[in-house]
Structure formats: C-alpha cells, structure tokens
C-alpha cells in the first residue's frame, strides 16, 4: 500500500484520463505528485526519461501518456502510432524497473481485442483472432505494453498492473471536429446546428475562436455589420461536417452499439487499482507472492531473484491475460446516444444518418466481472454523463 507521502509520477497528467487521475489522487490526500508536460519531458527520448527518473525517483508511476488519434490519423500515420507508443512504454517501464518503482499502472485501450471477438469481451479473448485493421498498430503497441507489465512481474516479481478502458468521455475531452471521438463530435455538431437555427452568431464566433475548424475562427462573425459572405463561408464549412440549420447528419445507420465510461470514473477505478490491487490478486494465486517475494516481509522486490526467468514458473503454470477491463458493462446504440445529446443540448431539430457512410464495428462491449470482483463498479450512468459533459463544454467556451 502506498502511503500518503509516496511520490507518484503521472505521465500524461494534462490528458483526459491523466488529469482526472491527478485530481482523484489529490482528493484522496496523495499530494506528492509529479507531472511533466510534453515540452518539459519527451517520453520517446530514452536519455531524457532516464534523467527524469534519476532526479525524481518516484515510488509509483501511472502511465497515462500515449500518442493517440482517430481513425484517419491511425490510417495515415501507422509507423508513428506503433513506434511512438512503443518508445514511450519501453522507456517508462524499463526506467521504472531500474529505479525500483514499487507500483506501476499502465493504461491501454479495449482496441487490443480482436475485431470479431465474442461479446461482451473478456480479458482472455486477447490474441485469439485478427485485430481491426484501421488501428492495428496502436493496438499492437498497447498489447506490447500490457505484456511488458505481465512479463516484468513474472520475471522480476514487480507489481505492474495494466488496465484497459472502454470509450471514455468527460472533462478536457477533445471537441475538435477534425479528430474528436464520437460523443464530443456529436455534441458539438448538435450545439452548432442549434446556434445556427437561433441566429446566435456571437456564440458561434466564441465556439470557433475556442476551437477553430480547418483553421477558420469566428473572427468578424459577432460584429453588427458582419458580411453575409463571412457567414456563408462558415455555413459551408460546417455543412461539410453535417452541421446545418436545425439539422445534423451523422455517419452510418445509427445501429452500432457502444459502451461509454465517464473519465472521472475511469480515474477512480485506476486509483483504486493502484492503491488496492496487486498482481497476485489478479492471477488469484497466493503462491505467486511466496515464489517471488520469499524472504521479504514488506513486499519489496528481490531484484536478484530469477525464478521466473524465461517467462514460465513451473509451480504456477501458464499465466496470461492479467490486464483488467474497465467500463460499465452497459451499451446503447449511436442513435440512442444522439437522442441523449439532443436532449441535453435542448436541440429540437433533425438528427439524420447517412447510411452510405460506414458504421465501423457493430458492437464493442467489454466484460467487467474481473473489475467488479476486485471491488470497483462505475458510478456515473450515461444519461447523467452526457449532461455533465455538455455542462463542461459550455463552461469551456467561457474560459480562456
């Protein structure tokens, strides 16, 4: 168990999940936190990462940093997605081990599972059939990360845990139309369509100034003498993204099923695992601790111990799929989600679906029974979460 004065390094502490984990730790009284922005520390730079660990020597690490993007980015920058994420993971995990970090939490993604995995997806369906091609490189990198944690535990007796969250949404979400995920993109589209209908050009200007679309801001829109050509330029641009006067067009049929988890719930689950769950709890074999920790009475890692060298400990048999799914275990259709978003925004216009566009994977639900058995369940239901996200979005427009 980490004490309240333990130094905890949160990699990616400004991101959607990392920021929520940081705040959750503070709320629990863990105030000795360390974070670095990308400008301050490039996690792909092995020398820089080693220097950071030499100087800070954290007791625990939360690896929430990653090189991420949507379907288009995953398709265009395949080499970047596998190389950047592998570098980040290798550097942080290897230096954590070299510097005697007591506990490490690695955050992955449920895209690690096969494209046609049985639903709901259990942890043990990993590597049973081909991955979704469009994000294969990112998925392979995340699989490598969870396998690193698993393998370090088996070889060196470390206590590194990997958690795989479902689709996340919440404060600090990405609402940029070009590369955001389904819920924030849908919410912004509905919001802008309502503003067009209301003739609220001052609010449209604020929105575009905060988050420009293809480099277009709201400059000039809120002036009394705004030229019609400026407004038409904006209307034409937004129409490319399915945003029109009191009408929103979304891709696909609206029938795919998706699971969503509030990011602050994800943070709470992550911190719960960090503070209360050990590798021996996950594999359910008490002998593991005696094999690895033997003479130790305080849980310290014996770095000279090599009983697990080669990836197998005869006494334990084969150990794999030690990661933990994190989600709600509940799902809804994209159409149902659009109805919740429209209700939250107060949108009374039309939401249509362009069936000529792809749906993507038809169902992607995870089995969360392992997580429940470890003492955690989600708190925020999707109906409340959508309202909370819209409230956050509106507040973000008023902040600089």
Which positions are catalytic? 138
Q: Could you give phi then psi for residue 335, rounded to 5 degrees?
A: -65, -45
263 in Cβ contact with 388 (< 8 Å): no
- The residues, ordered by sequence, that sit 6+ positions from 165 with a Cβ below 8 Å of its Cβ are 17, 107, 108, 109, 110, 261, 266, 326, 327
Burial class (CB in 10 A: 0-12, 13-18, 19+), 332: middle
d(CA 387, CA 400): 22
Give the bridge partners for 246, in sequence order.
none
Cα angle for residues 341, 346, 348 (degrees, 5° grid): 95
SS3 28: coil
Q: Could you give phi then psi for residue 70, rounded to 5 degrees?
A: -85, -170
SS3 377: coil
SS3 88: helix
DSSP 8-state secondary structure symbol assigned to residue 204? H
d(CA 247, CA 95): 52
- The residues, ordered by sequence, that sit 6+ positions from 34 with a Cβ below 8 Å of its Cβ are 7, 8, 9, 10, 56, 58
238 in Cβ contact with 185 (< 8 Å): no
d(CA 106, CA 322): 12
């Amino acid at each position: 168990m980490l004490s309240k004065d333990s130094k905890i390094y949160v990699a990616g502490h400004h991101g959607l999940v990392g920021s929520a984990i940081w705040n959750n730790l503070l709320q629990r009284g863990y105030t000795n936190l360390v974070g670095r922005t990308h400008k301050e520390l490039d996690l792909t730079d092995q020398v820089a990462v080693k220097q950071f660990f030499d100087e800070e020597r954290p007791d625990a690490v939360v690896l929430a940093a990653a090189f991420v993007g949507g379907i288009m980015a995953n398709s265009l920058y395949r080499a970047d997605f596998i190389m950047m994420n592998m570098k980040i993971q290798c550097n942080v995990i290897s230096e954590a081990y070299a510097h005697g970090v007591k506990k490490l939490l690695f955050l992955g993604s449920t895209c690690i599972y096969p494209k046609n995995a049985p639903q709901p997806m259990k942890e043990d369906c990993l590597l049973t059939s081909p991955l979704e091609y469009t994000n294969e490189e990112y998925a392979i990198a995340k699989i490598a990360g969870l396998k690193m944690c698993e393998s370090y535990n088996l070889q060196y007796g470390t206590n590194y845990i990997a958690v795989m969250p479902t689709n996340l949404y919440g404060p600090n979400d990405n609402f940029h139309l070009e590369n955001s995920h389904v819920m924030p993109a849908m919410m912004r589209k509905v919001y802008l369509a309502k503003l067009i209908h209301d003739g609220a050009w001052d609010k449209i200007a604020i929105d575009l100034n905060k988050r420009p679309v293809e480099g277009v801001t709201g400059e000039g829109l809120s002036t009394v003498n705004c030229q019609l050509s400026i407004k038409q330029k904006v209307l034409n641009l937004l129409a490319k993204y399915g945003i029109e006067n009191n009408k929103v067009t979304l891709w696909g049929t609206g029938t795919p099923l998706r699971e969503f988890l509030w990011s602050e719930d994800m943070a709470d689950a992550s911190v719960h695992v960090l503070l209360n769950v050990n590798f021996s709890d996950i594999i359910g074999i008490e002998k593991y601790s005696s094999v690895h920790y033997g003479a130790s009475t305080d849980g310290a890692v014996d770095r000279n111990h090599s009983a697990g060298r080669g990836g197998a400990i005869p006494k334990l048999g084969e150990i794999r799929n030690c990661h933990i799914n994190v989600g709600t275990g509940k799902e809804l259709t994209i159409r149902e989600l659009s109805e919740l978003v429209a209700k939250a925004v107060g949108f009374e216009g039309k939401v249509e679906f362009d069936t000529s566009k792809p749906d993507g994977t038809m169902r992607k639900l995870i089995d969360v029974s392992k997580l429940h058995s470890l003492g955690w369940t989600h708190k925020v239901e999707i109906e409340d979460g959508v309202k909370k996200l819209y409230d956050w979005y509106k507040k973000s427009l008023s902040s600089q």
